[in-house]
Amino acid sequence: MQVILMGLHEDACEESVATGLAPFFHVMQVKMVRDGAVDNPWALIDVHDSYERVWNVCEQLRGVFHRGKRIHLYIPLHQDDVYHDLPAHACIHIP
């Protein structure tokens, strides 16, 4: 599943993002995006975690500052490789 991380500094790189998020996610890959404002990059992060875990971490890190800038974590919609920790009876299925 993928997560978008915004609020980074211009010196952020794939390795620093992966290392910084390692305590929270099982980071598979990081792609830095520097289009537009070079001093304000964002990262597209592939993680191997359930949707519930990713959601909880995004909520946990809401409002956290890193080196004076507030970070923002977003879960992009319409992902094919999302799996859930919840058992089938705990899920809501609306036809």
- How far apart, in whole angstroms, are the C-alpha atoms of residue 79 and residue 58? 16
Cβ pair 43, 17 in contact under 8 A: yes
> pTM score, two decimals?
0.81
Predicted pLDDT of residue 15: 97
Q: What is the pLDDT of residues 1-25, one digit of tens each?
A: 999 999 999 999 999 999 999 999 9
State which CATH number among 2.40.50.140, 3.30.460.20, 3.30.70.330, 3.90.940.20 fits the domain covering 2-77: 3.30.70.330
Domain range summary for the chain, segments of one domain joined by +:
2-77
Q: How many CA atoms lie within 13 A of 59 on its CB side?
A: 6
